Chain A
Amino acid sequence: DQQVKQNSPSLSVQEGRISILNCDYTNSMFDYFLWYKKYPAEGPTFLISISSIKDKNEDGRFTVFLNKSAKHLSLHIVPSQPGDSAVYFCAARRGADGLTFGKGTHLIIQP
């Protein structure tokens, strides 16, 4: 039962352009959403989050958009940089429960 889905296993973007990573969820009880970035041989690193009471949160080059009616969130990275190449995990939480992760999207930034 995939409550959090990332349908693109990989995404290739040219350096300087916008990267858009997408995530869909099925559990309408989720109230907190997070994006994590993961390099090989390292643990997930928190990137940005959004509460279900908001529809947008911005932090530097990273912006997360939440569309509750569509149960969809996206992460925008602009401009994309070579160091952004990593696996990005979408995660969701309901109240005090543990995080539910998507399968991840491997972002490749091409020079």
Chain B
Amino acid sequence: EPEVTQTPSHQVTQMGQEVILRCVPISNHLYFYWYRQILGQKVEFLVSFYNNEISEKSEIFDDQFSVERPDGSNFTLKIRSTKLEDSAMYFCASITDRGYNSPLHFGNGTRLTVT
């Protein structure tokens, strides 16, 4: 069964550094998402992306965050200047369409640790 793949599985960075988290969504999917889960807390929506532009973003997704689909397969999340509170699991997800029978498919996540 096709999967959403994320790399790296664990990223350690120093505060203030830029990080790029990478995702390869399922090939025929059209909508792409980033979610995060801070340890012990719920999974939170960050941003959705369709047709090469952001379609929706949450309050968490401020100017420090950006997303890009640089080619036909990768979908990236960039954090420009990381803060300690950005430490979390970041999950990429994709979906074929937004119909009622279209659940999101998640990758296994990237654990970001900001020191």
* Residues of A near any B CB (own CB < 8 A): 31-32, 34, 36, 41-46, 49, 51, 89, 91, 95-104
Contact = CB atoms under 8 A, between A and B. Distances in A.
B106 interface: yes
Given A32-B100, A43-B4, A44-B91, A98 B105 contact: no
Given A49-B100, A98-B58, A99-B43, 15 more contacts: A34-B104, A41-B109, A43-B4, A43-B108, A44-B43, A46-B103, A91-B43, A95-B98, A96-B56, A98-B35, A98-B48, A99-B104, A103-B42, A104-B42, A104-B43
7 contacts: A32-B100, A49-B103, A97-B56, A98-B35, A99-B43, A99-B104, A104-B42
The 8 closest A-B pairs by CB, nearest first: A43-B106, A98-B45, A46-B103, A101-B43, A103-B42, A51-B100, A96-B98, A43-B108
